[in-house]
Structure formats: C-alpha cells, structure tokens
C-alpha cells in the first residue's frame, strides 16, 4: 500500500526536478544573455573631423583666381557674386540691413535690445540716437560696437529675408540703390563703416576674409557683367 502510493509521488518529484533544472538553465541563459548584451564595450569611433579646416574655410574667402576655371563669363560672374554673398549675408552686414525699422543683434540676428528704431534719418529716434550708445569706435570694455557713421541702412537696402539673387538685383536697381556701380565698388571695398565688419570687437565673429579680398571679388563680379544668381 505504502509502496504503491509512494511511486507516483517520487515520479512527480523527478518530473518537478527536471523542470526545475530546465527552468534554472533558462533563467541562467537569459541572465547571461543580458549580461552579455548590457556589458559595456568600446563604441566604434569614426574619424575625427578636422574642425580647424572647416572653420578656416568658413572664415576665408576664395581669391578671384579660383574662379578662372569657369570659362563661361555669365557663370563666372554668378559664382563670384555667390562668394561676395558670403559676406553680404553674414550677420555683421545683415544686422544693419534689416527688413524692419529695427536693427538686429548677434549671430542669431535677434531684434536689437533695447528697442531702437531708425527714426527719420536712420540714426535713431530723437530721444534714442544710435550714437547715444555706439561711439566712433568699438568700446572694448563694454563690447558695444562703434563707427563714426553708425546708423541703420535705408529700408530700400533691406536684405534680411531676401534670397541672394534678390539682394543682387536690388543692388543694381537704380530705384532702390543710391549708388552707381563705381560708387558701389568704392563703398564695398573702401568704406570704413563696411570695414567695421572685419573688426567688429566684443568677441564677435568677423565677416569672412578681408575687406581687400572682398573688394577684389566685387570688382571681378562687376567686370564680368554683374550677373545675378536665380
């Protein structure tokens, strides 16, 4: 009696033991798998990017000779203006050529703080002239930029929000530009208010290249027929 009732219990015990061992093995396998998956190992490194090279390209202008390989004069002229445009569309120029009556500031070109407005002559409202804060030269201690002619570009010369092609056509349009082509070249190549952009002070990023290189590109663009991008 006792032996017969003992037997199934022993078999159940054996089955339970087999399942128990199998279960333990499964749990152990999952555990080992997790350890393997989560174990920290070195991530593949990509080639380091030569940041200095990138910045150097951003900061310099290509010389006029770099465009000699473009045989077709119209295409060469457009390519020259695109290089000129890297200066025109830099924050240093754009901040003073806004689409509204209010200048913008910094690399991000956010609205000028405090609120100032062009006033009647571009030099600010009567009670808040630009020259109240902007002196004849950069104020190194405060970082406030300066030039004796500091004022806002006329609204016909607004560049912000325009394509480079539109800025180009605007420069050549007698209805909106105050300058002949010779005056335009002189202004870009020699004017010291434009030149401020290469010596902006206050830790600001200067416009790319130098004013001389910029002037040479503008001259070459005019000589090749002053063609505009689309």
By the rule CB under 6 A, 207 interacts with ligand HEC: yes
- Footprint on residues 163-202 left by ligand HEC (CB under 6 A): 171, 177-179, 184, 187-188, 193-194, 196-197, 202
CB atoms within 10 A of CB 155: 14
- Token reading at 68: 């000699």
Q: Judge contact between 112 and 132, C-beta under 8 A.
A: no
Q: Judge contact between 207 and 214, C-beta under 8 A.
A: yes
By the rule CB under 6 A, 128 interacts with ligand HEC: yes
By the rule CB under 6 A, 93 interacts with ligand HEC: yes
Can you tell me which of 79, 96, 216, 222 binds ligand HEC, judged by CB under 6 A? 96
> Based on CB atoms, which residue is closest to ligand HEC, 79 or 93?
93
By the rule CB under 6 A, 144 interacts with ligand HEC: yes
Best CA proximity match to 167, nearest among 108, 220, 97, 106: 97
Can you tell me which of 12, 59, 73, 132 binds ligand HEC, judged by CB under 6 A? 132
Best CA proximity match to 177, nearest among 154, 160, 152, 149: 154
By the rule CB under 6 A, 61 interacts with ligand HEC: no
Q: How many CA atoms lie within 13 A of 95 on its CB side?
A: 26
- Token reading at 6: 């003992």
- Token reading at 219: 């001259």
Sites of contact with ligand HEC (CB under 6 A): 87-88, 91-93, 95-97, 103, 105-106, 112, 114, 116, 118, 122, 124, 128, 130, 132-134, 144-145, 150-154, 157, 171, 177-179, 184, 187-188, 193-194, 196-197, 202, 204, 207
């Amino acid at each position: 009696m006792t032996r017969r009732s003992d037997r199934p219990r022993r078999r159940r015990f054996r089955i339970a033991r087999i399942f128990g061992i199998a279960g333990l093995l499964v749990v152990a396998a999952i555990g080992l798998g997790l350890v393997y998956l989560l174990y920290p190992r070195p991530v593949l490194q990509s080639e380091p990017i030569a940041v200095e090279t990138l910045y150097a390209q951003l900061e310099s202008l290509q010389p006029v000779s770099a465009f000699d390989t473009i045989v077709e004069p119209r295409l060469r002229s457009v390519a020259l203006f695109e290089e000129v445009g890297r200066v025109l569309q830099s924050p240093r120029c754009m901040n003073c050529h806004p689409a509204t009556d209010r200048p913008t500031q910094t690399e991000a070109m956010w609205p000028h703080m405090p609120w100032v407005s062009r006033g009647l002559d571009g030099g600010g409202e009567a009670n808040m002239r630009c020259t109240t804060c902007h002196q004849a030269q950069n104020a190194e201690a405060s970082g406030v930029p300066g030039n004796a002619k500091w004022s806002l570009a006329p609204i016909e010369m607004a560049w912000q929000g325009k394509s480079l092609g539109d800025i180009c056509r605007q420069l050549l349009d007698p209805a909106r530009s105050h300058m002949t082509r010779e005056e335009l070249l002189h202004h870009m190549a020699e004017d010291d208010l434009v030149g401020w952009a290469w010596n902006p002070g206050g830790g600001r990023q200067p416009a790319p290249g130098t004013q001389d290189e910029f002037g040479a590109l503008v001259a070459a663009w005019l000589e090749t027929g002053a063609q505009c991008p689309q």
